[in-house]
Chain A
């Protein structure tokens, strides 16, 4: 196990590459999801306001 993480002496380089790639490819969908929720909430709020004004 320790040998696996050691990567034959290339641990910093291998994990530095895979780590940052994983970080970005996990962060991007999460950021997108929270942004989608934000936009949907804002649109719903605007729709509610509009209804209140017209009633």
Chain B
């Protein structure tokens, strides 16, 4: 029984994960480029014009994937932070750190594209709607996490302090998700439903899902790339990094 289990702790060593991160990064890059190319093609040439919002609705193909990713990445970071606190593994903390700027970028893009969608449809670039405000708080949580990390010199202390911030901030994610149901505000409700028919054309839905998977692969690719640099910097006094460096980097 025990021999069939993968020893996951083996991969929690930065030295073991470093070459694996490169492989995962390359594969994800290829998947991301392919999916986003197909997704963009579908977004502009396959998905029909909306009967109410004309061509303006096409913003959905970047707005929804970016918003989903901003929430999803935060939850994944909090998961890594929890693992890091429980098992005291520094690689888990580095995983969270490697995802943060990408998550912040998607939170910003969610607000930006939402603003460019709100202006023609609602007549305002910005409104203090429940969903928009809670998404803005998510962006601030990302920025706060990064600022807190960089304010603490000792990486192990930075790990713990920022992990707690991540875990506390998780409460905001369901608030964003359910905001359109809990408060009767301007932001439109979800068009994708898990337990009933989605109120959307099939090709629109497929294009949106392909873009989301593409953004997902993109996030993995950039996180792996950032992780490798973080590992090198943090483990610079370890023998394997010094050997790697003396071979010419």
**Interface bracket on B:** 35 or more
Q: Which residue of B lies closest to A27 (CB)?
A: B105
B140 at the interface (CB under 8 A from A): no
Q: Is the interface of B mostly helix, strand, loop or mixed?
A: helix
Residues of B within 8 A of A1 (CB): none
- CB-based nearest B residue for A11: B55
A43 touches B229 (CB 8 A): no
Among B59-67, B155-163, B184-192, the stretch that binds chain A is B59-67
**Roughly how many angstroms separate A35 CA and B101 CA in the complex, as a whole number?**
14
**In the complex the two chains form, is B59's CB within 8 Å of A13's CB?**
yes
Among candidates A10, A17, A50, residue contacting B63 with C-beta atoms closer than 8 Å: A17
Q: Which B residue sits closest to A43, measured CB to CB?
A: B245
Which residues of B lie under 8 Å from residue A44 when comparing CB positions? Answer: 245-246, 248-249
Contact of B236 with A43 in the complex, beta carbons under 8 Å? yes
Interface: B232 (CB within 8 A): yes
- Select from chain B the residue with minimum beta-carbon distance to A7: B55
Q: A18 contacts which of B62, B105, B120, B246 (Cβ < 8 Å)?
A: B62
Q: Which residue on chain B has the smallest CB distance to residue A12?
A: B116
Binary per-residue interface labels of chain A (1-36) against chain B in the complex, 1 for a CB within 8 Å, 0 otherwise: 000100111101110111011001100110011011
Q: Name A's B-contacting residues (CB within 8 A).
A: 4, 7-10, 12-14, 16-18, 20-21, 24-25, 28-29, 32-33, 35-36, 39-41, 43-44, 46-48, 50-51
